[in-house]
Amino acid sequence: MPPKVSMLADIPGEENIPSRSSPTASTALPLHPTFFPFHIIPGISNFRDVGGWPISGESHVRKGVLYRGSDTNRVTPDGIARLQELHIKTDFDLRSSQQIERTGGYKVLGGMTRIWTPVFADEQYTEEAAKQRYELYAGEGTDGIVTAFIEILTSGTTMFRTVLRHLLATIPPSSDETAPALFMHCTTGNNRTGVFISLLLLLLGVPESVVIEEYALSEKGLAPTRHINVERLLKKGAFKEYGPEEAQRKCERMVGARPESMRALIEEVKRRWGGPEGYFKEHVRLTGEEIARLKTLLNVT
């Protein structure tokens, strides 16, 4: 198990927008984590390496080839420089067109190719459909969020196949070679991105308990900017029918990553597809040979 170091550092370039959902002037914001597997990228929250997690014995998931995080709308020049230092060459944007338009477009990242691979098609991201998903994400139990997660997994298969085949085509076989890395993100990096990364780690053989731990790290990764995302949701009118206090509680649950949610999803994946490999073969439509190559490329000692 990778060590857990409680060393934190602030990150420049993030907005601290005062609002009814943000901390008071006398309350310090949580700091951006710097312990494994997080990286400080000014202007991008919840950014971390997908590699480093144990598989079995002395082997672990290969580092430096796939990163995950939130959107790049607020990334600073220093943040872009850090992404370049990590040799990130491709930015896979999982957001729907409406989300991108509402935030003023997308940020051009120097030296990186942006590939737009939305999880949901435009017709799936209507105002009514989004409202229904919000209710599923924000429920107190796990039934609703697992329903939302399964929709993500079944709607985003084209995206996932594109990302994984890009990995297969670009990652050098030797871990001694510097890889042209990929950055995969949605809006906050906890739901869409988190679900796909969890399934990939399960496919590679990372223990379920570790996958749950990795997923739940978004609680810490998003803590410094949670007030911004909650305020954004409230301004959109999310849960306004519940009243201000309950609406805020529901928004906060949306911008989180509860371990029990991933635990319940893993059980549902087993029930539906017999485990991650069944999902990748049946829905993502990877061949047995492609799955074997992924496991070889991403498993290092």
- State how many domains the chain has: 1
Is residue 126 within 8 Å of 133, Cβ to Cβ? no
Q: How far apart, in whole angstroms, are the C-alpha atoms of residue 298 and residue 300?
A: 6
Q: Is residue 158 part of a domain?
A: yes
Is residue 85 within 8 Å of 112, Cβ to Cβ? no
Q: Is residue 26 part of a domain?
A: no
What integer pLDDT is reported at residue 56 of this predicted model? 83
Q: Is residue 38 part of a domain?
A: no
**Token pair recorded at residue 82:** 């850090």
What integer pLDDT is reported at residue 27 of this predicted model? 61
Cβ neighbors of 4 (< 8 A, separation 6 or more) are 35, 36
| pLDDT tens, per residue, the chain with 301 residues | 443 332 223 333 333 333 334 444 446 788 899 999 999 999 999 999 999 999 987 899 999 999 999 999 999 999 999 999 999 999 999 999 988 988 888 888 999 999 999 999 888 877 777 778 877 877 788 999 999 999 999 999 999 999 999 999 999 999 888 999 999 999 899 999 999 999 999 999 999 999 999 999 999 999 888 888 788 788 777 787 888 888 878 887 777 899 999 999 999 999 999 999 999 999 999 999 999 999 999 999 8
CA triplet 184, 185, 188: central angle to 5 degrees? 155
CATH number at residue 224: 3.90.190.10
Residue 93: give the domain boundaries. Answer: 48-300
Listed in order, strand segments (DSSP E) in the chain are 48-49, 54-56, 59-61, 66-69, 88-93, 113-116, 181-185, 299-300
**Token pair recorded at residue 80:** 């872009």
